[in-house]
Structure formats: structure tokens, C-alpha cells
């Protein structure tokens, strides 16, 4: 969350995301100290009973607490890359949801081998607010009701196990109960989920010693023939993808359609068998930093805003709407970031969001996210840009593209 200042008259301008949630609600000052202020909505039916930030207090600590004292309610996590909710009933986890794409029900079904990535992409194009992915897949005859039931249970366990790796973010707990028909009987009780989550956390640390960054490149190694011939399943699929073209770890995980933990495990095993090599980008070799790259993008964003005939308010509304719909990992970079009146992004907010990203990934991830927004602006607002200014804009975009090529080590 961005830093805000209290003016001398006591007024505070809350961030856009907070204003959007509170709307015109009245709030109460529940508690305060020299180091915090806690506000709550007056008259809330299910008030927040516990809230705080992850850090010294871990996800494992919270889950253990609610399990030990047999609490029932919703534990919500607001994380750098999205949101997760975990519901407890008498101390046992009975449901969980996530905004992370790799924890989507369709992706879980694909990783269980029910269909391929092409089928999932085709079905996702039919998804609407009242026609979720599970129903689309069932109507297409791709899966049956038992498949959906098993995948929902597997998805909940995946969400819970993965959340243990989160080190930063905030949380709140409210004593709201799910309807009994919405709860799910899991294959593991909460104590076993806790142990599994911590085991994965330890293994992920091991994986990241070999693979220091999701932006690290994977290239085929000159391995013995017998090492390659013994590859099977997902490891064989991954190796074949890497042979067809060098990929980053992040790109390979996306192509495999698996979760980050499973993808890291596959990459680690390939590297351990010496059939692939992990190559990291050199840091600081090209003289670029986050601030200078962001300034270049903001200059062009300001130009598009200036040249657009749609009006400043309509322009900002269109861009902010697009940004709110971005998926992980781009949503991580631009989460709760506002446009100023000139159409540029707030630098301090982006830098704050990037604190949750490994230092070697920050620059490249930011550049990718802003390129996505720039592409949208040029596509959507091109017809509303004055013709006389269009060539100047094209020149600036081309120049920025060349700079990004140099940044990625692809320029000449």
C-alpha cells in the first residue's frame, strides 16, 4: 500500500483502492497508537476481529492459531500478486479461493491431466460472469461432476499450501460462516496441510538456490544421451519445449500450465540431471535502472494522453479499467497505482509494489507490464490521436522499443 500523508488540518487522502471499497461509508477509529491507526466501517454485520501485516507474524502462525483455538470464519490475505481467502470451521479449513491464475480451477484440472492447454484456452473464451469455467468444461463434455469435485478439493489444498510461502502482505479475519453446502471435505486435515505447506516452503528454498530467478533462461545442456532418454511425463514435455526455443523459467511454467511450485520442481530436476542449463541475466551491465526506464515509459504515456481526443478523464478511466483487469504477474506491478492528470503512472507506488519481487526480476517485470499497457493505449486510443502528432508518438515508441531490446540483452 502506498504511503499517505496526514495534513496539518488532519485531512487524509486515502488511496484509490481504499476509496473504492469504502465508497461513502462512515468509519470508526477502533484503536490507535504512535505507530498505527485502525479504522472500521460503522455498523458492519461481520466486523473485522483481527488484522495485521505479514512479516514477523507468518501465515503458518495464523493457521496454527485458528486451528488450535477452533475458530470459524474468513481469513483474507491481501498479497503483492493478488488475494486469497481461507475459511475455517471449528478450526478446520473447509474452503479457499484465490485470484492467482495458476490456482484457477481450469488450470488445476489441466494439471490433473483432464485436457490440454489448447482446450483450456478455447473454453476460457466462453467464460462469462454467469458461466464459469467449470460449467463450460462440463457442458463441452471435457470433464464430469466427479472431476470437478476432485479438482475443487485439490485447488483448495494448493491455495493453502502455496500461501505459506508469502512473506509480505496484509491480512484480516472476520467471524463469517460459509453455508454448510459450500464447505468441502479435504483429503488432509489442517495440521497435515500446515506440515505440507512448510515442506513445500523448504523445498522451494532448495529450488531457488539452483534457479535464482523466474527470469533466468533455460537452455539445453550437452548431457549424456541416457540422461535425456530417461525423461518422462512433464519433465519430458518441459525439455522438448526448451529444445524448441530457449525459455525463461517463467515462460516455461506458463507453457506447461502448472503452478509455480510444480514448475520450479520440474526445472530443478532438469538442472540436477544436467539436461538443461540455468543462465541468469547480468545485473547492472547496461546502466538502466527502474527509475530511468519508468521515466521513459511515463513520457510516452503522457504523450498518448496529451494527443488523445477522448479527454483526460475518459483517457484515465479507460487505462485504469484495463490495469485493474491485468493478470498476474503484471497485476503485481500496477496494483493500486493511479494515473496523474498528465496520464503518467505514480512512480513511488510502482516502486513500493516491486518490493515484493526479487531484485533481479524487478526491472524486467516492470518493463513487461508497462509494455502491455502501452500496447493497449496505442491500440485503443490510436483512432483518437491527432494525425499530426501520431508520427511523433510512433517515433518515441520505436525508440523505447529499441531501448528495451538493449535492456533485455537482445539489441545490437
Query: Domain check: are 75 and 120 in the same one?
Result: yes
Residue 90 sits in the same domain as residue 182: yes
CA 401/CA 381 separation, integer angstroms? 19
Residue at 412 is within a domain: no
Identify the domain boundary among 247, 279, 311: 279
| Domain limit, last residue, from 142, 177, 203 | 203
Number of domains present in the structure of the chain: 4
Q: Within a domain: residue 267?
A: yes
Q: What whole-number percentage of the chain has pLDDT above 70?
A: 86
- 272 and 164 in a common domain: no
* pLDDT band for position 401 (cuts 50, 70, 90): low
The reply to whether 103 and 62 lie within a common domain is yes
Q: Do strands 170-174 and 247-248 pair parallel, antiparallel, or not at all (unpaired)?
A: unpaired
Considering the domain architecture, whether residues 198 and 217 belong to the same structural domain is answered as no
Residue 270: which CATH number? 1.10.10.10
Lowest mean pLDDT among 34-43, 51-60, 61-70, 150-159: 34-43
Does 297 fall in a domain?
A: yes
Do 36 and 153 share a domain, yes or no? no
| H-type alpha helices, 273-346 | 290-307, 312-324, 330-334
Helices 260-272 and 190-210, axial angle in degrees (round to 10): 50
Scanning 245-386, the segments in alpha helix (DSSP H) are 249-256, 260-272, 290-307, 312-324, 330-334, 347-353, 359-381
The verdict on pTM exceeding 0.95 is no
User: Based on the domain organization, do 59 and 133 belong to the same domain?
Assistant: yes
Give the Cα separation of 309 and 382 in Å (integer).
10
Q: How confident is the model at residue 410 (pLDDT cuts 50, 70, 90)?
A: very low
Is residue 134 one of the residues assigned to a domain? yes
Residues 58 and 199 reside in one and the same domain: yes
Residues 173 and 64 in one domain: yes
Asked whether residue 284 is assigned to any structural domain, the reply reads no
In whole angstroms, give the CA distance from residue 1 to residue 284. Answer: 28
Q: What is the pLDDT of residues 181-215, one digit of tens each?
A: 889 989 899 999 999 999 998 998 899 889 988 77
DSSP β-bridge partners for residue 218: 247, 278
Mean pLDDT, the chain, whole residue set? 83
Q: What is the pLDDT of residue 192?
A: 95
My answer on whether 223 and 185 are in the same domain is: no
Distance in angstroms (rounded) separating the CA atoms of residues 372 and 395? 18
pLDDT, tens digit, 9 for 90 and up, residues 78-136:
987 788 999 999 999 999 999 887 788 998 898 787 888 789 888 988 988 789 999 99
Contacts of 89 (CB under 8 A, 6+ apart): 72, 177, 178, 183
Domain that holds residue 16: 1-44
Tell me: the pLDDT tens digits for 321-332? 888 878 777 888
Among 256, 279, 302, the domain-final residue is 279
Tell whether 63 and 120 lie within a shared domain: yes
Q: Is residue 363 part of a domain?
A: yes
Query: 2 in a domain, yes or no?
Result: yes
Q: Say how many CA atoms lie within 13 Å of 304 toward its Cβ.
A: 29
Residue 20 lies inside a defined structural domain of this protein? yes
Residues 324 and 262 in one domain: no
* pLDDT at site 202: 92
Tell me the pLDDT band of 284, cut-offs 50, 70 and 90.
very low
Averaged over 381-405, what is the pLDDT?
59
Averaging pLDDT over each range in 55-59, 100-104, 276-280, 383-387, which range is the top one? 55-59
Amino acid at each position: 500500500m502506498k504511503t499517505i500523508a496526514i495534513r496539518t488540518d488532519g485531512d487524509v487522502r486515502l488511496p484509490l483502492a481504499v476509496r473504492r471499497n469504502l465508497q461513502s461509508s462512515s468509519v470508526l477509529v477502533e484503536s490507535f497508537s504512535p505507530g498505527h491507526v485502525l479504522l472500521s466501517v460503522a455498523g458492519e454485520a461481520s466486523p473485522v476481529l483481527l488484522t495485521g501485516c505479514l512479516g514477523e507474524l507468518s501465515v503458518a502462525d495464523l493457521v496454527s492459531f485458528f486451528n488450535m483455538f477452533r475458530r470459524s470464519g474468513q481469513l483474507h490475505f491481501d498479497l503483492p500478486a493478488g488475494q486469497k481467502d481461507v475459511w475455517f470451521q471449528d478450526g478446520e479449513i473447509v474452503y479457499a479461493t484465490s485470484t492467482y491464475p495458476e490456482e484457477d480451477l481450469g488450470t488445476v484440472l489441466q494439471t490433473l491431466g483432464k485436457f490440454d492447454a489448447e482446450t483450456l484456452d478455447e473454453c476460457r473464451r466462453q467464460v462469462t460472469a454467469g458461466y464459469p469455467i467449470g460449467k463450460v468444461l462440463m457442458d463441452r463434455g471435457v470433464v464430469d461432476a466427479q472431476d470437478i469435485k476432485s479438482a475443487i478439493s485439490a485447488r483448495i489444498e494448493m491455495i493453502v499450501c502455496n500461501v505459506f510461502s508469502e512473506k509480505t502482505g496484509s491480512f484480516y479475519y472476520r467471524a463469517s460462516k460459509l453455508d454448510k453446502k459450500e464447505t468441502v471435505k479435504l483429503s488432509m486435515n489442517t495440521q497435515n496441510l500446515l506440515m505440507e505447506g512448510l515442506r513445500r516452503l523448504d523445498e522451494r528454498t532448495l529450488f531457488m538456490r539452483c534457479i535464482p530467478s523466474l527470469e533466468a533462461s533455460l537452455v539445453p545442456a550437452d548431457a549424456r544421451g541416457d540422461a535425456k532418454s530417461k525423461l518422462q511425463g512433464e519433465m519430458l514435455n518441459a525439455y522438448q519445449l526448451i529444445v524448441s526455443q530457449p525459455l525463461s523459467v517463467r515462460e516455461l511454467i506458463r507453457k506447461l500450465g502448472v503452478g509455480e511450485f510444480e514448475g520450479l520442481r520440474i526445472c530443478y530436476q532438469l538442472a540436477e540431471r544436467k539436461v538443461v542449463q540455468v543462465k541468469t541475466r547480468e545485473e547492472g551491465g547496461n546502466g538502466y535502472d527502474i527509475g530511468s526506464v519508468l521515466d521513459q515509459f511515463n513520457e510516452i504515456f503522457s504523450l498518448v494522453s496529451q494527443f488523445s481526443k477522448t479527454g483526460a478523464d475518459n483517457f484515465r478511466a479507460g487505462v485504469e479499467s484495463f490495469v485493474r483487469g491485468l493478470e498476474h504477474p503484471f497485476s503485481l506491478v500496477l496494483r493500486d497505482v493511479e494515473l496523474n492528470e498528465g496520464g503518467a503512472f505514480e512512480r513511488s507506488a510502482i516502486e513500493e509494489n516491486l518490493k515484493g519481487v526479487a531484485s533481479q526480476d524487478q526491472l524486467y517485470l516492470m518493463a513487461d507490464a508497462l509494455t502491455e499497457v502501452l500496447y493497449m493505449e496505442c491500440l485503443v486510443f490510436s483512432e483518437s490521436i491527432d494525425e499530426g502528432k501520431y508520427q511523433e508518438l510512433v517515433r518515441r515508441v520505436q525508440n523505447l522499443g529499441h531501448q528495451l531490446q538493449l535492456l533485455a540483452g537482445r539489441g545490437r
